[in-house]
């Protein structure tokens, strides 16, 4: 099933593939497995793909570009706000990125020149001459420059026919709300702030709906706890406290009492808000793709939604 991505003229599937994992997020992924993951997503009908220069320090873009190069009728998004510098000794965080080039260092740059350079570098890695959606990536500490320099440069790229839609992606709803109120975005990508456990992004979704801005919801498992709630599970990339674990276990109990895996409820929950066009799930293997596709297709009774409202 495809839906309109707001006013962009683009159509997206309700499930999108986040491409950070195939760049080596938390664990190395071979080139063959990366390609199989994208291929399997395509076979399961996924037509929204999201990458960024930061993901694997360019490796995600290179791999996804190769996998999608000869395919049409899909939406590909990437991001600006970091440029990849090469030096003798980079600053790879081994707890975050595995298998990446250690001589590459991502540097925040929301200047007009930095945006142009980042975009042109992305085109080379992707093997494309244009991109469907470009997001301002994590502008939290650079909001003034993002508004004054980065956004106007993205408008110029759109005017040149190199970009169809302009967006912003962040983990913080207040950052996205700040941008929606000040510039004319087509779409926002919000991670982790509208989930079964964290609904702090509701105000941003309402604002987006009022402004005609489409929303892509990412981080629907809050980094793991809603996929497999248990002691030691992670919430927003840190160990979840006992209260969060107990809340997640209670949600799992309610879902399973209605014959539904918690993962299905977690994936589908954001789609219940009218502003949300698609959910984005980061996956690293064909088996994970199959599971996510099965979860998005699971029938969920209204009684379950009422029980967790």
Whole-number Å distance between alpha carbons of 88 and 74? 38
Active site residue 57: no
76: region left, alpha or beta (phi > 0 left; psi from -120 to 50 alpha): beta
Whole-number Å distance between alpha carbons of 57 and 55? 5
Given the DSSP bridges, would you call strands 2-4 and 11-13 parallel, antiparallel or unpaired? antiparallel
Per-residue HEC secondary structure of 212-235 comes to CCEEEEECCCHHHCCCCCCCCCEE
Active site residue 302: no
39, 43, 55, 228: the catalytic one is 55
Whole-number Å distance between alpha carbons of 33 and 243? 36
Four-residue CA torsion sign, 127, 132, 136, 137? negative
Whole-number Å distance between alpha carbons of 146 and 97? 26
User: Which secondary-structure segment (H or E) carries 189?
Assistant: strand 187-191
Greatest CA separation for the chain: 58
Whole-number Å distance between alpha carbons of 30 and 56? 12
39, 57, 79, 140: the catalytic one is 79
Active site residue 26: no
3-class DSSP assignment, residue 214: strand
Whole-number Å distance between alpha carbons of 254 and 72? 41
List the alpha helices (DSSP H) in 22-166.
31-43, 59-68, 112-126, 143-145, 151-159
28, 39, 50, 121: the catalytic one is 50
Give residues with Cβ within 8 angstroms of 298, minimum separation 6.
260, 261, 264, 268
Residues with catalytic roles: 50, 55, 79
């Amino acid at each position: 099933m495809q839906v309109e991505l707001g006013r962009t003229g683009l159509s997206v599937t309700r499930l999108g593939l986040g491409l950070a994992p195939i760049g080596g997020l938390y664990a190395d992924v071979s080139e063959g497995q990366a390609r199989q993951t994208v291929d399997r997503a395509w076979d399961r009908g996924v037509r929204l793909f999201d990458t960024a220069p930061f993901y694997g320090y360019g490796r995600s873009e290179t791999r996804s570009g190769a996998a999608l190069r000869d395919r049409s009728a899909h939406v590909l998004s990437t991001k600006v706000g970091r440029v990849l510098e090469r030096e003798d000794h980079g600053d790879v965080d081994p707890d975050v990125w595995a298998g990446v080039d250690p001589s590459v260092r991502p540097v925040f740059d929301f200047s007009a020149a930095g945006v142009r350079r980042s975009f042109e570098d992305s085109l080379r890695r992707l093997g494309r001459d244009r991109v469907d959606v470009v997001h301002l990536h994590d502008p939290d500490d650079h909001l003034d420059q993002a508004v004054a320099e980065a956004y106007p440069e993205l408008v110029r790229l759109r005017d040149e026919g190199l970009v169809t839609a302009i967006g912003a992606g962040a983990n913080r709803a207040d950052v996205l709300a700040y941008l929606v109120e000040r510039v004319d975005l087509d779409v926002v990508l919000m991670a982790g702030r509208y989930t079964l456990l964290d609904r702090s992004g509701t105000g941003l979704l309402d604002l987006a709906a009022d402004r005609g801005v489409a929303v892509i919801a990412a981080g629907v498992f809050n980094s793991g706890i809603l996929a497999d709630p248990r002691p030691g599970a992670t919430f927003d990339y840190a160990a979840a406290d006992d209260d969060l674990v107990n809340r997640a276990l209670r949600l799992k109990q309610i879902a399973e009492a209605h014959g539904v895996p918690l993962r299905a409820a977690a994936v589908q929950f954001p789609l219940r808000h009218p502003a949300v066009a698609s959910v984005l799930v980061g996956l690293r293997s064909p088996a994970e793709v199959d599971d996510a596709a099965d979860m998005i297709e699971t029938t969920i009774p209204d009684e379950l939604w009422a029980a967790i409202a």
